[in-house]
Amino acid sequence: MQIDEKEIKEILLTINNVEQEVGKAIIGQKDIVRQVVIAILAGGNVLLEGVPGLGKTQLVKTLSRVLDLSFSRIQFTPDLMPADVVGTNIIARDESGNSKFEFQKGPIFANIVLADEINRATPKTQSALLEGMQEQTVTVGKSTYKLPQPFMVLATQNPLEMEGTYPLPEAQLDRFLFKLDVKFPTLEELEKIMDVTITNNVVELQKIMDRERILNIRRIIKEVPMAKAVQEYALKVVLATHGESEDAPEIAKKYIRFGASPRAAQAIVLTSKIRALMEGRYNVSFEDVKYVAYPALRHRFFLNFDAVAEGITTDKLISEILDSVKVV
């Protein structure tokens, strides 16, 4: 497939318009908005972590309106059951009055699924999302159902030290393309939030994209060229999260218990292509790789006890790894 320069410019303009439109309702958090848009175009799931009240839910709802996609919200609670997420077979009567089983779809059957406060549900219910997140299908009984396209899960999570939360299983964490840390707004941003939320000013959002446009952009993105040296750098960064690797710096060997999976490499390579396009370039740079490495890696490797005791964060380790891996 040949990349058409005119088409690339149109994609860039469309993406910029999406970011600007979302910015009308979401004050600040520009990096968060950009990274969520990157994940949508990559077809990946996103985990948003932050204390309550930072606008995580509002961001997801705003994106569904701007992108003209169907939206479903699941409020995760300790008593939520897997069937409440994926759906269940119910007994129904046909026109002849005979009883039959009929599948009643759950809220997961939408383009954008907001899994709100996902870590407040039990691991059994959290795992109900796994098949949908990875295979984009749902299996109930002996039947498998395809989810609508495009499909992605945007999950919000409160910090684990807060009461009433359950850590997400490692297998489920790995299914998230990005993990984003939503920061508390500045004073200036708080003032703008007040202007939007506690006044009579109504924010009118325009639809910028649609389902077909998103799917078409996804196909084009995969054709963006990536130099072998840049790709090797991305792969070495992932390998450096494994202590036994020759590319691993001493700090990684000392503090990382388990390294990132191959999904991390897939995430970095694909999303760095999107970031390059968003910057108006048709080829991927080392800076693109460094930009997406943080959200792609911070939930995919696990710290040991020494790191936790000494206050070493995943972002600090990623920074050290990015600096230690040599650029060819």
Alpha-carbon span 261 to 47, nearest angstrom: 17
Q: What is the pLDDT of residue 272?
A: 92
Rg of the chain over all Cα atoms, to the nearest angstrom: 21
pLDDT category of residue 271 using cuts at 50, 70 and 90:
very high
pLDDT of residue 222: 82
Q: What is the pLDDT of residue 54?
A: 64
Which of the pair, 51 or 273, is modelled with greater confidence? 273
- Mean pLDDT, residues 49-59: 74
pLDDT tens digit string along 298-322? Answer: 888 888 888 888 888 888 888 888 8
Choose the weakest-confidence range: 173-177, 188-192, 258-262.
Answer: 188-192
The three-class DSSP label of residue 187 is helix
- Give pLDDT, residue 269: 92
Residues ≥6 apart with Cβ < 8 Å to 229: 327, 328
Report residue 264 as tokens.
């991390």
Cα angle, residue 47 at apex, residues 296 and 146 outer, rounded to 5°: 100
Q: Which residue has the higher pLDDT, 128 or 161?
A: 128
Q: How high is the pLDDT of residue 162?
A: 61
CATH of domain 224-328: 1.10.8.80
> What is the pLDDT at residue 2?
56
Predicted confidence at residue 139, as pLDDT, reads 82
Q: In the chain, what are the domain boundaries?
A: 1-223, 224-328
Residue 146: how many other CB atoms lie within 10 Å: 11
Q: Which helix (H) or strand (E) holds 2?
A: none
Which DSSP state fits 127? Answer: G
Which is more confident, 8 or 272? 272
Q: What is the C-alpha to C-alpha distance for residues 128 and 212, in angstroms, rounded to an integer?
A: 28
Q: Which phi-psi region, left, alpha or beta, contains residue 53 (left: φ > 0; alpha: ψ -120 to 50)?
A: left
Q: What is the rounded distance in angstroms from the CA atom of residue 268 to the CA atom of residue 235?
A: 9
HEC profile of 81-121: CHHHHHEEEEEEECCCCCEEEEEEECCCCCCEEEEECHHHC
**Cα-based distances in Å from 326 to 241, 272, 320:** 15, 18, 12
As a whole number of angstroms, the distance between CA 221 and CA 3 comes to 9
Q: What is the CATH number of domain 1-223?
A: 3.40.50.300
41-55, 95-109, 124-138, 189-203, range with the lowest pLDDT: 189-203
Nearest to 87 by CA among 133, 138, 45: 138
Per-residue model confidence (pLDDT) at position 291: 92
Mean pLDDT of the region 228-243: 89
- What span, in angstroms and rounded, lies between the C-alpha atoms of 57 and 155? 9
Q: pLDDT digit string (tens) for 275-298?
A: 988 888 888 889 999 999 999 998
Confidence category of residue 160, pLDDT binned at 50, 70, 90: low
Other C-beta atoms closer than 10 Å to the C-beta of 176 total 26
Q: Which two tokens stand for residue 101?
A: 């089983």
pLDDT surpassing 90 at residue 180: no
Structure tokens at 93: 């009567």
pLDDT value for 300: 87
The reply to whether 1-223 and 224-328 are identical in fold is no
pLDDT of 167 over the 70 cut: yes
